[in-house]
C-alpha cells in the first residue's frame, strides 16, 4: 500500500483485510477486518519512499505484504463496527479536520508576520503595507474564513460528544454531518489561507529560504485524504431530505 501513514515509525502495522475471496463481490459488500502485524514479521516490508510535496514528516512509506501470517488474536473484525450507530468515522474525520484548521490558523498567523515586513504598493499611498485598504480587506476575509472553520470544528466536537453519550441512529448521523461540514470548511480554510499568506506577504514571502510554501504544501496534501466533494453530497441530502449518511470510517 502506497502512503501508509506513520509506517516508518511504527512497531505495529494495521492492515485492512478482506474476508471474502469472491471475485464478483463489491468492495462495499465484502466483510472487512483489521490485522495488526508486527513490524518485524517475515514478509512485511516498509519502504522509505514517501516523497509527497507536503506532510513530509508523516513517514508514510509504502508497505508490501508477501505471504504474511497473522495469528487469530491479532485480527479484529472491522465491518461489525458499523452495524450499530457509531461515532467511529466522525471521530476519525474530526482529527483530520483539526489538522486542517491548525494549518489554516498557522498560515494566518504567519501571514500577519509577513504583512508587517512587506513593502506597501505605491498606489496605496501608505507608509506600511498593513495600512493598504486592499490588504486589509483580504486579511478580514481570511480571518472570517479561519474563524468560521474553528467554530465549526468546535461544534462538530460537541456533536461527537453528544453522540458518544447517547449513540442513536439520529445522534450519530447528526455528528457525522457536523464533522463533514467542519471538514469541508477546514479544507477550504487551509488551502485558501495558505495561499493568501503570499498575497499579504508580497514577493519576499516567496523566498525559498523562508519555506513558507510548507503551509500550502501540507494543506494541499492532507486535504486530499478524504474527498470533500462527497461529503457535500451527504450534507446536501441531509439538509434537503433528512437522509442519514452511510456508516463508514471516512464520514
Note every long-range contact of 79-82, with CB atoms under 8 Å and residues 24 or more positions apart, other chains counting: 79/31, 79/32, 79/33, 81/249, 82/247, 82/248
242: cell is 433528512
182 touches 94 (CB < 8 A): yes
Do 29 and 90 lie in one domain? The reply is no
Model pLDDT, residue 1: 87
Q: Does one domain contain both 63 and 24?
A: yes
**Does 18 reside within a domain?**
yes
Answer positive or negative: Cα dihedral of 225, 205, 201, 117. positive
**Domain match, 123 and 141 both:** yes
- 1 lies in a domain? no
pLDDT digits (tens, 9 = 90+) for 152-180: 999 999 999 999 999 999 999 999 999 99
- The number of C-alpha atoms within 13 Å of 98 and in the hemisphere containing its C-beta is 10
pLDDT along the chain (251 residues), means of 10: 90 89 64 94 94 90 94 94 95 97 98 96 95 97 98 98 97 98 98 97 93 97 92 97 92 85
For residues 226 and 179, state if they share a domain: yes
89 shares a domain with 73? no
The count of structural domains within the chain is 2
- For residue 248, tell me if it sits in a domain: no
Range of the domain at 227: 84-241
Task: Provide the CA 157 distance to its chain's centre, in angstroms.
Answer: 15
pLDDT digit string (tens) for 169-219?
Answer: 999 999 999 999 999 999 999 999 999 999 999 999 999 999 999 999 999
Predicted TM-score (pTM) of the model is: 0.92
Amino acid at each position: 500500500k502506497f502512503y501508509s501513514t506513520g509506517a516508518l515509525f511504527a512497531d505495529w502495522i494495521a492492515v485492512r483485510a478482506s474476508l471474502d475471496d469472491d471475485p464478483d463481490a463489491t468492495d462495499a459488500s465484502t466483510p472487512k477486518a483489521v490485522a495488526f502485524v508486527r513490524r518485524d514479521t517475515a514478509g512485511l516490508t516498509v519502504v522509505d519512499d514517501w516523497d509527497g510535496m507536503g506532510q513530509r514528516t508523516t513517514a508514510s512509506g509504502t508497505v508490501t505484504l508477501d505471504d504474511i501470517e497473522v495469528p487469530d488474536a491479532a485480527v479484529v473484525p472491522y465491518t461489525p463496527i458499523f452495524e450499530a450507530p457509531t461515532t467511529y468515522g466522525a471521530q476519525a474525520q474530526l482529527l483530520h479536520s483539526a489538522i486542517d484548521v491548525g494549518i489554516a490558523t498557522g498560515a494566518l498567523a504567519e501571514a500577519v508576520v509577513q504583512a508587517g515586513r512587506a513593502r506597501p504598493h505605491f498606489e496605496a499611498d501608505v507608509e506600511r503595507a498593513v495600512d493598504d485598504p486592499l490588504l486589509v480587506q483580504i486579511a478580514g476575509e481570511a480571518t472570517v474564513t479561519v474563524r468560521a472553520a474553528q467554530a465549526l470544528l468546535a461544534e462538530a466536537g460537541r456533536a461527537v460528544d453528544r453522540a458518544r453519550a447517547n449513540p442513536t441512529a439520529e445522534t450519530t448521523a447528526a455528528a457525522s454531518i457536523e464533522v463533514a461540514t467542519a471538514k469541508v470548511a477546514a479544507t477550504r480554510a487551509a488551502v485558501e489561507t495558505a495561499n493568501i499568506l503570499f498575497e499579504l506577504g508580497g514577493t519576499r514571502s516567496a523566498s525559498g529560504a523562508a519555506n513558507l510554501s510548507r503551509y500550502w504544501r501540507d494543506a494541499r496534501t492532507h486535504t486530499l485524504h478524504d474527498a470533500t466533494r462527497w461529503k457535500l453530497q451527504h450534507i446536501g441530502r441531509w439538509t434537503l431530505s433528512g437522509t442519514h449518511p452511510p456508516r463508514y470510517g471516512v464520514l
